[in-house]
Amino acid sequence: MPTPAETAINSPIGRQTPRIDGPLKVSGKAQYASDFPFPGLLYAVPVEATIANGKIQKLDTSEAEKMPGVRAIFHHGNIGKIFRSVLGKGMEGICIERRPAFEDDVVSYYGQYIALAVADTFETAKAAADAVRASYTKGKPNVEPDLEPDPDPNVVQTTYGPERRLQSERGDPEKALASAPVKLDQTYVTPSETHNPIELQGTTAMWDGQKLTIYEESQAIFNMRSVLAQMFGLPEENVRVITKFVGSGFGSKLWPWTHCALACAAARQLGKPVKLVLSRRMMFQTTGHRARTQQRVRLGATPDGKLVALMHDYVYERSMLDDYHENCGEATAFQYSVPNLRVKFGRAKRNVGSPSDMRGPGAVPGLYATESAMNELADQLKIDPVQLRVLNEPQIDEHKKIPFSSRHYLECLKAGAEKFGWSTRSPEIGSMKRDGLILGWGMAGAAWVAARFAAQATVELRDDGTTRVACGTQDIGTGTYTILAQLAADKTGVSVNKVEVALGDTSLPEGPVSGGSMATASVVPAVFDAAESAIASLLTIATTTPGSPFEKRKRDELDFEIGRVFLKANTSSEGVPFADLLRRADLRSVTGSGKSADTFEEKNPKFSTHSFGCHFVEVIWEPQIARLHVNRVVTAIDAGRIINPLAGRNQIEGAVVMGIGMALLEHTIYDPQNGAPINSNLADYIVAVNADVPTLEVHFLDYPDTVLNPLGARGIGEIGLAGIAAAITAATYHATGVRVRELPIRIEDLLKSPVLS
Ligand code: MOS
């Protein structure tokens, strides 16, 4: 029997494990949602409204309908019934834009679908969509960037249920601020940003009688199933959603958008499979974006740097049709110790497509504001920004009044500062130089919630020594196939390359949403439970099969380690491989089912569960040509046990790259004339590319947080984007003397620098 150390050496957990789906992707064999061919497949192209506020007066489809190869032009009058959907229990029935497409003649945002052309080829469908003529009665679109909050009740409905606008309050923040010896009162603005995954969104839908199957690049196939079942009046078991690979989502593919239901409805009306793939422009109009926010942060402190008051009042933009909540206060109430605090939000309706979750929703814009305020306070107090954070480290989560399950924020700061060389920083603006260029150094902290969704899984042990793990979750490019293989390999003792992974299909056991950085933490207990159940069945087989080496033994006399069954009493035995035992019993396989609950329903949680981190940034400022670029980033992350450091590093690096885009480049701009997002393409909407990305250093602390699951893994998809923009703006201030409080930093801002020559 192996010693525990030998078992550990055999485990793939915590090892750099290359993607098991890598070969399929680089060879082009991985089939994404719109890659599946079907006989008789028709192509659909939506017609986009060219106003952002008004009504359709007349829709002329006659020319389009006459085109050869056109099957139908759908609109309000002929699409058939699409019901509304409602929010259910848990992660069911979530839909941002509740109004079914084509419900009425009202247009609330630019690009809203007003008709759908379906034809034998994509080209014909596109030509037909272009030939549809619409006339409107137009109102002035409200895309006003200044966000004055709408009058709202104290409790508002949101996509995820009711929310109190006063999110958190303790002590007497007004009074404490008024009497604080040191005060800061600043407003920070973050722009609309668009997710821009490389894979375009699209739906291929087909009906078989009353059964609907869709191929869709979804981050949440079971929610997609529950919404579509409601929209088409079907029992859930009649709807199947298949998502084998996703070319990233960043949140835009979490919830169903209007094109999904349109493809399904068109396929129903025509009795043929219909494929509808959006254009890049449509991805800016109808599939969500990060809401614009305006956040006033007020801090009160003692001269030696102890926070006495914190007020975070934020307003975000939402559309006319949704109740999406951009929770900028996500981290505010627990990140630092402060006796007097208030977090409150307001909302402002605009004629824009519905905002939605975008990587690190809420916390990312929120921490940009609060971490920027901390940096400004540090400068005001002439205290090192790292030290200011150390001085305000909380002992417990002061919002929930419970301890953190595992918080190593100070250790992140220490590790990050050391690896960066922070102690050699000279705080004066423009004072650090290298090769005639000015260096700017800045830092900021990060936090992101950690939790579990409910999950189910099966693990199968097979007579050829392989294993299969099945869980109806998704791999959105983050490495979930590989994580599931690692988990099954760990428990069954087979090597990762002998594990078959099945995911992305609602015919599999119900898996978690790929969102909130929670998929990995959620699948661990379910897969472990399933593996243990398969092993328990195997041991029963071992003790009951005639001729088995363990025949007539009791189950608890046996042990299962590294894929073999051992008699506990015989410590020197080599054990018997599970495949041998199955073959002897003439069984192809034995399967175990497992499940785990979510952590949201817990009535009185004992611990507050979050991940933490920080970024240290160096920018280079070339005053002669007013050029600024990020030269170096060191990130330290406390996200529990890291199951796959290769995939983990990749997540943090990707998030930091996105953070460079957030700080310096990304901004969806709405035309005040017609309400159109005018930079709705990848030439005009600028994202960080290789040339913008410096050497990135990622350091994981790797403290297992076993409150969440037996491995102690939290999540790493989003934490890397939290705080980075505040670190970059702080570094920019240090180099240039320009304090930017509205993202992204623009060249016009930098031209105000006193450090220009
Ligand atoms: Mo993330 S915004 O939960 O995909």
Q: Give the Cα separation of 397 and 43 in Å (integer).
A: 53
pLDDT, one tens digit per residue, over 435-448 is 989 999 999 999 99
pLDDT at 21: 97
637, with CB counted inside 10 A (0-12, 13-18, 19+), is buried
**469 CA to middle of ligand 1, Å?**
24
pLDDT at 180: 98
| Coil, strand or helix at 209 | coil
**251 CA to middle of ligand 1, Å?**
4
Q: What angle do CA 677, 681, 683 make, to 5 degrees?
A: 125
Query: Residue 725, by phi and psi: left (phi above 0), alpha (psi -120 to 50) or beta?
Result: alpha
Report residue 235's pLDDT band, with 50, 70 and 90 as the boundaries: very high
Q: Give the Cα separation of 321 and 658 in Å (integer).
A: 28
Residue 537 belongs to what H/E stretch?
helix 519-544
Report residue 600's pLDDT band, with 50, 70 and 90 as the boundaries: confident
Q: Give the Cα separation of 51 and 65 in Å (integer).
A: 23
Q: Which of 557, 718, 742, 748 is catalytic?
A: 718
Mean pLDDT across the stretch 199-205? 98
pLDDT at 703: 96
Is 516 near ligand 1, meaning CB less than 6 Å away?
yes
State the Rg of the chain over Cα. Answer: 28
Beta bridge partners of 462: 589
Output the residue whose Cα is nearest ligand 1's atom 4: 251
Mean pLDDT across the stretch 110-128? 98
The residues, any chain, with a CB within 8 Å of residue 290's CB and separated by 6 or more, are 190, 192, 193, 194, 195, 326, 355, 358, 361, 364, 365
Residue 757 in this model has a pLDDT that exceeds 70: no
Residue 601 in this model has a pLDDT that exceeds 80: no
User: Could you confirm whether 602 is annotated as catalytic?
Assistant: no
The backbone torsions φ and ψ at residue 349, rounded to the nearest 5 degrees and listed phi first, read: -80, 135
Mean pLDDT across the stretch 559-568? 95
**219 CA to middle of ligand 1, Å?**
8
Strands laid side by side in the 564-567 sheet: 558-561, 564-567, 576-577
Q: Give the Cα separation of 535 and 554 in Å (integer).
A: 14
Mean pLDDT across the stretch 149-176? 96
The residue to which tokens 């034809």 are assigned: 119
- Above pLDDT 90, what percent of the chain? 96
Q: Give the Cα separation of 275 and 259 in Å (integer).
A: 10
Widest CA span in the chain: 89
The residues, any chain, with a CB within 8 Å of residue 609's CB and separated by 6 or more, are 404, 405, 406, 449, 450, 451, 599, 705, 707, 708, 714
Mean pLDDT across the stretch 382-404? 98
pLDDT, one tens digit per residue, over 142-151 is 999 999 999 9
Report residue 158's pLDDT band, with 50, 70 and 90 as the boundaries: very high
Is 193 near ligand 1, meaning CB less than 6 Å away?
no
Pocket test for ligand 1, best of 327, 475, 718 (most atoms within 8 A of CB): 718
Residue 4 in this model has a pLDDT that exceeds 90: no
Helix, strand, coil proportions of the chain in percent (round to 5)?
A: 30, 25, 45
Pocket test for ligand 1, best of 254, 287, 658, 662 (most atoms within 8 A of CB): 254
Is 357 near ligand 1, meaning CB less than 6 Å away?
yes
Is 362 near ligand 1, meaning CB less than 6 Å away?
no
pLDDT at 170: 98
Mean pLDDT across the stretch 176-198? 98
Q: Give the Cα separation of 43 and 33 in Å (integer).
A: 14
Pocket test for ligand 1, best of 195, 201, 359 (most atoms within 8 A of CB): 359
- The torsion angle over the Cα atoms of residues 265, 266, 268 and 272, rounded to 10 degrees, is -150
